[in-house]
Amino acid sequence: MTTTGLFLIAILALGFLITFQIAKASEYVSVLKGEKKSFEQSNKINAFLMIVFLVLGLIGVWWCNELLYDKTLLRFPSASDHGEDIDRMLIITIAITGIVFFITQILLFWFSYKYQYNPKRSAFYYPHNNKLEVLWTSVPAISLCVLVGFGLVYWTKITGDAPEESLQVEITGKQFGWIYRYPGKDNTFGKKYYRNIDEANGNQLGLIWKDSVINKLDRKGHPAGSVELTADQASFDDIVTNDAIYLIKDRPAKLIINSRDVVHSVGLPHFRLKMDAVPGTPTTLWFTPKYTTEEMKKITNNPRFEYEIACDQMCGNGHYSMKGLIKVVTAEEYILWQAKQVPAYVQAHPADDSQAAPAPAAADSTAPAAVASK
């Protein structure tokens, strides 16, 4: 066992010992003073402490808000149009739950003080009230249904069909980083096959650059037929990078999200969005960036500001380091950046760039690779 584990066990044991000793001391005091007198005295103390806890708790809530609010993203505007809806829903949720929290907690501790034990007062037995039962059951239920309804509407917008003019970018998670892919001049994503992944030869996504036959194996590792792959012309001009995603201000962007190994999650905190990356099951979301990276540097007063991609799903020992970047630029800056990019095929085969010409026919950019088993 590690030193940290032993230290935690020692702390727990010490806490148990202290609690036990306090309880025993209370028993001895009760014996010396008399049970009834001791009970009345401790009851008054506990009632007073309830009020102290209430006051200190409310001060603590206010103090934490003053101390930590500037460290949250709520002090800055959402960087996407959908994010504005998310912020609005969050503020409404916090307002409703906050009002309920303060009312219930103040009443709870005040009643604990006001109605403390008093030998001159008898408890009033109030077993049931149908109107109250209906009230405190229906009001929370209706409120939660409304909040969930707003959430479903926003979720449908985010995951629904993106506008036709959207810039499409594919993002693939792997332990522990992100791979970004753009369609080339043909504006079509090439097909890929996971068994075709070859990092050593520059094919991070398994793009189908040549005709091949791949032997299939069952779960026990036994031969189970084969898969014929036909070279896809649309894949030769695809741009693959690990540096950053480049998006255009005020132009819708559709992210096609995949995973190469385990479940990851594309977290976009500045855009108030998130989507899981599931192996074998592409997911999508779309949004429209509102501010360029340079504009957000001025808004946040942080010259080192960068839009961040965070993995919001525990994915292994290196999860903490799985960070990506998004650069939001103007349309002119994007054209200049795109002109400098070299297709993944050309990078992997620098002696043969003839295949990087655009494919003659467009295809469904999200369609899976066509395979045939035999």
* Residue in 338, 343, 339 with CA at minimum distance from that of residue 355: 343
Structural fold of domain 167-358+368-373 = Immunoglobulin-like (2.60.40)
As beta bridge partners, residue 284 has 256
Tokens of residue 216, six digits: 């299939």
Q: What is the DSSP letter of 367?
A: P
What is the per-residue DSSP string for 282-316? -EEEEE-B-S-HHHHHHHTT-TT--EEEEE-S--S
Domain boundaries, the chain: 34-117+133-159, 167-358+368-373
Instruction: Look up residue 334 and give its amino acid.
Output: Y
pLDDT by residue, tens only, the chain of 374 residues: 577 777 778 888 888 788 777 766 666 666 555 666 666 677 788 888 889 999 999 999 899 988 888 888 888 999 999 999 999 999 999 999 999 999 999 999 999 888 888 878 787 788 888 888 899 899 989 988 998 998 999 999 999 999 999 999 999 999 999 999 999 888 999 999 888 898 888 999 999 999 888 777 767 667 777 778 888 899 999 999 999 999 999 999 999 999 999 999 999 999 999 999 999 899 999 999 999 999 999 999 999 999 999 999 999 999 999 999 999 999 999 999 999 999 999 998 887 655 655 544 444 444 443 333 32
